Structure 1
């Protein structure tokens, strides 16, 4: 077994490029350790964070030519909101941005200006059957059905709006889900519009909370909220603390250990 002096001699014998590669590997090791600490902090302070948010921290890896590593929430495209915007609100506080579904419902006049949507809590019977993903959000297929039912897709997605056959399938139901009809309620607001998906008045909505409701059962005896219209909270209180993440990862000490390990690895000792 080599003594410490021999180990140091071999490490010092590394060429510049060899040492740079070792440093880059150590930086990347540390970057992924910080990413794990960020994910642990999200699980600790957020209520049922989605996999989309948990996966969002992205490690921009160091190279021998560029000895720096960055860890930041990165938008990978698709239909989700940029996770950086979500985490900014949780880090600095502030009102959350409208979801794409809320923008669509506002565009067709269903969701009033100044409101956002919320899934019913247990006091109102809990989420509508088959609607939620278990993390406080509507399931993608259910949300698409709801938006298409109210013809809320814009010009680019108008073909996804429900056809008459689609309405018949929803109203008729399937083996897994009973037939139902959706309608919009605006509570007891004076002169508030209360309409079905065809724009027809619906007297049942007058005593109901603002939102999208479903009626099912023989004679329409079962009425349940699907999505409630709520005034947004004044703003999120800051909850995601990068100082806690840094302490959790102990990044500086971890980096020093990984540099020693990667240098020994490069020297073959």
Structure 2
């Protein structure tokens, strides 16, 4: 988990309070922290739109915030790790963008490594003719077909299949348009290639390239700190007024 905690010092303010105000202060602090963390999360997501090329909704949903309670007056903007249900946790692909370093392999890359097609110090990137979605990622259907041809029972995003005789009979072009991994050593660039069913020409669709270290692009803590400094006092003023007004 990667986080940025919200900090707020009210020691001098507290000394001037009436009893009813002092009683309601923890509630006001809780409201302040939660509203500030919520705004900080949105600010981080806006920063993602600025520094990344078409970040996916899944990536942006990986930025959440931990709420404060009356018993625990702490809040934070968080990049999720073990909370993600299915798929790659946000820390795996956002972590290197926030802290630098290497990104984790994706599920299909791990399968390629386990089968000996790709080296552990390589990553898979789309070649020029690979089909991409609107976010610039290889489409899931394309990856399913590639791994089916490589006889990998891929279990990512609901896919659990290898190519079968039944699927071959359904589509003759599908039968001939085979994907294969380049042998090593060999004259083809390492990666996955496709054979055109009409011309029998081959061309690369996925390239295996050396893994490189990411430079920091999303400065999470700095973004949150700027938002806190600019907004927390306004959030507290509104929260304190609400807390006193609703006191029982």
TM over 0.5: yes
Query: Please, which runs of 5 or more residues in structure 2 have no aligned partner?
Result: 1-16
Indicate the residue corresponding to 1:237 in structure 2. Answer: 215
Check if 1:132 corresponds to 2:129. Answer: no
C-alpha RMSD of the superposition: 3.0
Query: Please, which runs of 5 or more residues in structure 1 have no aligned partner?
Result: 1-10, 121-125, 193-205
Query: Post-superposition shift, 1:34?
Result: 0.8
Query: Residues of 2 paired with 1:28 and 1:262: CA distance?
Result: 10
Check if 1:95 corresponds to 2:92. Answer: no
Contact 2:20 2:244 in 1 (8 A): yes
Query: Residues of 2 paired with 1:239 and 1:247: CA distance?
Result: 16
In structure 2, the CA distance between the partners of 1:127 and 1:135, relative to structure 1 (3 Å rule), is farther
After the TM superposition, which residues 95-244 of structure 1 pair with which residues of structure 2 at under 5 Å, given as runs? 95-120=102-127, 126-128=128-130, 131-153=131-153, 160-169=161-170, 171-173=172-174, 180-186=177-183, 190=185, 192=186, 206=187, 208-221=188-201, 223-233=202-212, 235-244=213-222
Structure 1 residues 187-212: Cα deviation after superposition (integer angstroms, max 9, x where no partner): xx64x4xxxxxxxxxxxxx3x32211
When normalised by structure 2's length, the TM-score is 0.78
Query: Residues of 1 paired with 2:192 and 2:63: CA distance?
Result: 34
Check if 1:34 corresponds to 2:69. Answer: no
Contact 1:93 1:237 in 2 (8 A): yes
Contact 2:25 2:243 in 1 (8 A): yes
Contact 1:37 1:248 in 2 (8 A): no
Indicate the residue corresponding to 2:234 in structure 1. Answer: 257
In structure 2, the CA distance between the partners of 1:170 and 1:60, relative to structure 1 (3 Å rule), is farther
Q: 2:60 aligns with which of 54, 57, 68?
A: 54
Query: Residues of 1 paired with 2:172 and 2:22: CA distance?
Result: 71
Structure 1 residues 77-105: Cα deviation after superposition (integer angstroms, max 9, x where no partner): 34432222333312232122211111101
SS, match of residue 110 in structure 1? coil
Query: Residues of 2 paired with 1:154 and 1:35: CA distance?
Result: 34
Indicate the residue corresponding to 2:27 in structure 1. Answer: 21
How many residues are treated as equivalent by the alignment? 228
Contact 2:147 2:154 in 1 (8 A): no
In structure 2, the CA distance between the partners of 1:159 and 1:34, relative to structure 1 (3 Å rule), is closer
Contact 2:173 2:197 in 1 (8 A): no
Query: Residues of 2 paired with 1:89 and 1:49: CA distance?
Result: 15
SS, match of residue 20 in structure 2? coil
